[in-house]
Amino acid sequence: MQNEIRRGRQAFVRQQYVACHQRRTSPQESLSRLLGGASSIALLALGIASSSPALSADITYTGTTAAFPWQFGTAWDGGVVPGAGDRAIIGPHMVEGSVVGSNRTSIGFNTSGFGVLDIGSVWITPDSVLTSFTNATMPALRFHGIDGIAALNENGNVVTFFRRTILADDLVFRASNSAGGGFLWQEFVTSSAAPPGIELNGHTATFDTVNATNTMTFAASSVISGAGNIAKTGAGNLSIGSVSTYTGSTTIAGGTLALVGIGSVASSSRVIADGTFDISALTGAGASIQSLAGGGAVVLGTKDLTITNANDRFSGIISGDGGLTIAAGTQVLAGANTYAGATTVESGATLAAGAANTFSAASAHTVHDGGTLALNGFSQTIAALDNAGRVTLGGAPGTTLTITGDYISNGGRLDINAELGDDGSLTDMVVIGGDSILTGGATQIFVTNLGGAGAATTGDGIKIIDVAGTSAGLTP
């Protein structure tokens, strides 16, 4: 009789889940809507084309005391611990067919004899009061996914997640309660158990904070590691406070991905910021990333962003009082950037314009020996320029570089295009609002004739440099 009651209750829970999800789009459909109807190719890039196993069973947790850890069959309806093809349901904790009045808010683990546990997915229901999986000595859990979902939190609590998570597929972690809630990856106490965080294992983890009130956080001790990608979707926030070491891409399709404290994604191959990438809450001087793409926002605050292996175009806006350094590679900017800190182009690196007025007019720019500032035929205005490298205006004649402050010559080079003819010939031009100052060597000016037939000039001839203040250090 008791088994019949258990089976009946389990069937009811399963029907309740299915009915609920008949009103909910699939993970693929939800992400497509969040991405504005993205193609299947885009979704594949986010790792959502899942091969996760079909659902075997919905199994409800029924443990009511610490004597019912996760791995014990007595903690689960029907006496079966969920496995790789099952969905573990964490709702109001049930015992003997009745809802216990004082529901437990945490679920513990027994580590004896358990290294890695396999699970399909976890569903935390809207009426659940769960706040944590007690994870001080927890074994690792390997998620295989059900319908592409690793974990779904529909209650309003931020739930401290499993100590160590391993992906067996491309999977989604989702928080969807409009009142708030989400997941927190952190270590309760330092122990010799599995290291905390997520092991991507060659897959993509998507963190979907559906509403602006939903949050997911990786504390300093919880690292995202391995070969694989992460993606941020939904309107809410994902905070990374750890020095994460995963090597794949970081895609921000919606909401905010914030680096906080000592947080770092420096090992990630690129950041694609179509949402907001926020480094303003870091405790150090700033953040390093390998390359920057997308069309969203980068919020610096007072921190500096260093791009170490640039190979992308960013058409969004970089803002704040911090600065930007291109350490290697070629970074193209195409948005109306407004940051006020210094812009530095290191030796061997190139900062290139992909649109007019994309270099921040509030920023003083420095080009080191071997570095290049390339306007590519797009006129720009900057606050000051210290040139020991190469500045190229590029494109057809007619491009203007306006420097509102001083030009400091440190032995660099300036490349200008012109149609060499009479005084009215079309030409590139450098306009200096302050002084031209010679410090470490004169700037060599190279003028390339593009289509000019040559002609006699009168007066000042073809003006290519205009200095409002005193002039020194510019040599044609």
**pLDDT tens digits, residue range 132-153?**
876 556 668 899 999 999 999 9
CA distance 179 to 126: 11
CA distance 26 to 96: 34
Nearest to 367 by CA among 412, 306, 432, 431: 412
Query: In this structure, is residue 391 part of a structural domain?
Result: no
Query: In this structure, is residue 35 part of a structural domain?
Result: yes
Query: Both ends of the chain: CA-CA distance in Å?
Result: 98
Query: In this structure, is residue 243 part of a structural domain?
Result: yes
Q: Give the pLDDT of residue 123.
A: 95
Which whole number is the average pLDDT over 61-72?
Answer: 72
- How many domains does the structure of the chain reveal? 1
> Given a cut of 70, is residue 456 above it in pLDDT?
no
Which whole number is the average pLDDT over 226-243?
Answer: 97
Query: In this structure, is residue 419 part of a structural domain?
Result: no
Query: In this structure, is residue 61 part of a structural domain?
Result: yes
Q: Report the SS3 class of residue 366.
A: strand
CA-to-CA dists, residue 309 to 234, 292, 325, 390, angstroms: 28, 9, 11, 19
Length of the chain: 476
Query: In this structure, is residue 132 part of a structural domain?
Result: yes
Q: Give the pLDDT of residue 21.
A: 35
- H or E segment at 219? none
Nearest to 168 by CA among 267, 53, 46: 53
CA distance 161 to 261: 20
Calculate Rg over the CA atoms of the chain: 29
CA-to-CA dists, residue 99 to 155, 270, 290, 442, angstroms: 17, 49, 52, 83
Q: Please tell me the pTM assigned to this model.
A: 0.86
**Domain around 193:** 1-269
Query: In this structure, is residue 440 part of a structural domain?
Result: no
407-410: strand order across its sheet: 286-289, 304-307, 324-326, 343-345, 364-367, 384-387, 407-410, 436-441
- Contacts of residue 192, defined as CB under 8 A and 6 or more positions apart, other chains included, come to none
Q: Give the pLDDT of residue 198.
A: 95
Query: In this structure, is residue 398 part of a structural domain?
Result: no
**pLDDT tens digits, residue range 159-188?**
988 878 999 999 999 999 999 999 999 875
Q: Give the pLDDT of residue 355.
A: 98
